[in-house]
Amino acid sequence: MSKGGSDNMATSLRLIAIALISAAAVSNSALAADAPAPAAPSAPAACPPPGSPDAQIAVITMPKWLHTPSGTDMIDLFPPFEYKQQRNGKAMMDCAVADDGKLENCRILQEDPPGHGYGAASLKLSKIYRMTPLAQFPDWTALSECVRKAGHPHIVMPVAWKTHF
């Protein structure tokens, strides 16, 4: 279902929150809801290289979706055997958010039940999601240059697969 359009963009964008975590936490999937803010340096320092443990990666915690999967998308991508058996499942997905708001480089952090195809289906579903472009995120543009240079922000999101709504 497509969303967006006539709502007040400025009001909607205030609903977006960004947290900071270290690059090491992203690579280890240890995603904290509230990461401590980095201490302000007394003198300007060079930014840590992207991917280093000292780099701070932004995590979007309250996205403003412009496009999300429809019920038909969910049915089309539902693992076929699981759908026929009317079994539900879920996956936890971590994705980078591209400048245009599309999800990229997604990976599955957890799948329940494991090995039943919900992770693979969630990765296919990730291609449908789109959020507000990063340049329109006041919270993203207000972050320090070092955080923005560390890499695209990430989003960690659950995907629930249900045969009955």
Q: Torsions phi, psi of 139, nearest 5?
A: -65, -35
Residues near 19 by beta carbon (within 8 Å), at least 6 away in sequence: 32, 33, 34, 35, 58, 59, 61
Average pLDDT of 151-157?
Answer: 92
What structural domains and CATH numbers belong to the chain? 9-161 (3.30.2420.10)
Q: Which amino acid does the sequence have at 145?
A: E
CB–CB of 104/96 below 8 Å? Answer: yes
Question: Could you tell me the pTM of the whole model?
Answer: 0.71
Q: Where residue 5 falls among pLDDT bands split at 50, 70, 90?
A: very low
- Contact (Cβ atoms closer than 8 angstroms) between residue 140 and residue 134: yes
| CA 124/CA 96 separation, integer angstroms | 15
Question: Of 17-26, 105-114, 140-149, where does mean pLDDT reach its minimum?
Answer: 17-26
pLDDT of residue 21: 54
* Residue 47 · residue 146 · CB < 8 Å: yes
Tokens, residue 129: 């999601």
Mean model confidence pLDDT for the chain: 78
Helical ranges in the chain per DSSP H: 9-13, 23-28, 71-77, 80-84, 118-125, 138-141, 145-150
Alpha-carbon Rg for the chain in angstroms: 18
* pLDDT computed for residue 6 by the predictor: 38
pLDDT in tens, 48-68: 887 777 778 888 988 999 999
Q: Residue 123's pLDDT is what?
A: 97
Which of 159, 158, 150, 120 has the alpha carbon at shortest distance from 26? 150
Type of residue found at 135: A
Averaged pLDDT for residues 6-23: 40
